[in-house]
Amino acid sequence: MKTYSITTPIYYVNADPHLGHAYTTIVADSLARFHKLSGEDVFFLTGTDEHGDKIVQAAEKQGQSPQEFVDTISARFQALWPSLGIANDRFVRTTDPAHKQVVQDFLQKVYDAGDIYFGEFGGHYCYGCERFYTEKELEDGLCPQHLTKPEFISEKNYFFRMSKYLPWLREHIAATPDFIRPERYRNEVLAMLESGALEDLCISRPKSRLTWGIELPFDKDYVCYVWFDALINYISALGWPDGADFARFWPGEHLVAKDILKPHAVFWPTMLKAAGLPLYRHLNVHGYWLVRDTKMSKSLGNVVDPLQMGRSYGLDAFRYFLLREMHFGSDASFSEDALIGRINADLANDLGNLFSRVLSMTAKYFGSIVPEGRGLAEEDAAIAELCATAMRNYSQLFGHVQFAQALESLWELVRALNKYVDSQAPWTLYKQGNMERLATVMLVLLTAMRKIAICLWPVMPGIATRMLEQLGQSVQADSAPVASLEAEIGDFDGLQPGTALAASSNLFPRIEKKDAESGNSKNSTGKALRKEKNRAEARQGQATAPADTTTQAEAADTTSRRPEIDFEQFKAVDLRVGTVVVAEKHPNADRILRLEIDFGEGTPRQILSGLAEHFTPEDVLGQQVCAVLNLPPRKIRGLVSHGMVLTAQDGKGLRLLTVSGAVDNGAEIA
Q: Which long-range contacts (CB under 8 A, 24 or more apart) does 525-532 make?
A: 525/551, 525/552, 528/552, 529/555, 532/649
Asked if residues 289 and 339 have their Cβ atoms less than 8 Å apart, the reply is: no
The 8-class DSSP code of residue 370 comes to P
- Residue 21 among the catalytic residues: yes
Rounded to an integer, what distance in angstroms lies between the CA atom of residue 292 and that of residue 302? 9
How many CB atoms within 10 Å of residue 481? 22
202 is catalytic: no
Element (H, E) at 253: strand 253-257
Count other C-beta atoms under 10 Å from residue 375's C-beta: 8
Catalytic residue among 124, 129, 387, 455: 129
3-state class (DSSP) for residue 204: strand
* Residue 129: active-site member: yes
Contacts (Cβ under 8 Å, ≥6 apart) of 19: 289, 296, 303, 304, 305, 306, 309, 334
417 vs 383: CA distance, rounded Å = 8
Give the Cα-Cα-Cα angle 22, 352, 392 (nearest 5 degrees): 70
Answer positive or negative: Cα dihedral of 322, 324, 328, 333. negative
Q: Which residues in 56-78 are b (16+ Cβ under 10 Å) and which e?
A: bebbeeeeeebeebbeebbeebb
The angle at the Cα of 58, spanning 56 to 63, to the nearest 5 degrees, equals 90
Q: How far apart are CA 368 and CA 349, in angstroms?
A: 22
Reading phi first (left if > 0) and then psi (alpha if -120 to 50, else beta), residue 173 is in alpha
CA 468 to the chain's CA centroid: 24
238, with CB counted inside 10 A (0-12, 13-18, 19+), is: buried
Taking alpha carbons only, the member of 18, 6, 101, 11 closest to residue 45 is 6
* Catalytic site residue from 51, 99, 126, 286: 126
Burial status of residue 360 (CB atoms within 10 A of its CB: 0-12, 13-18, 19 or more) = middle
Please indicate whether residue 18 is annotated as part of the active site.
yes
**Known catalytic residue: 126?**
yes
Active site residue 455: no
Angle between helices 435-456 and 403-424 (to 10 degrees): 170
Q: How far apart are CA 627 and CA 146, in angstroms?
A: 48
Cβ proximity of 158 and 115 under 8 Å: no
Question: Can 626 be counted among the known catalytic residues?
Answer: no
For 574-627, the DSSP string reads: -EEEEEEEEEEEETTEEEEEEEEEE-SSSSPEEEEES-TTT--HHHHTT-EEEE
Task: State the CB neighbour count (10 A cutoff) for residue 609.
Answer: 30
Dihedral sign from CA coordinates of 608, 614, 620, 624: negative
Residue 563 CB contacts under 8 Å (≥ 6 apart), including other chains = none
Q: Is 51 annotated as catalytic?
A: no
- 301: phi > 0 → left, psi -120 to 50 → alpha, else beta; which? left
Q: What region does 417 belong to: left with phi over 0, alpha with psi -120 to 50, or beta?
A: alpha
Of 61, 136, 149, 298, which is the active-site residue?
A: 298
Nearest to 376 by CA among 492, 489, 496: 492
Beta bridge partners of 133: 124
Helix (H), strand (E), coil (C) string for 45-102? EEEEECCCHHHHHHHHHHCCCHHHHHHHHHHHHHHHHHHCCCCCCEEEECCCHHHHHH
Exactly one of 36, 143, 273, 282 is catalytic; which is it?
A: 143
With 0-12 / 13-18 / 19 or more C-beta atoms within 10 angstroms meaning exposed / middle / buried, residue 114 is exposed
In the set 54, 172, 258, 295, the catalytic residue is: 295
The catalytically annotated residue of 61, 146, 149, 514 is 146
Which residues participate in catalysis according to the annotation?
18, 21, 126, 129, 143, 146, 295, 298
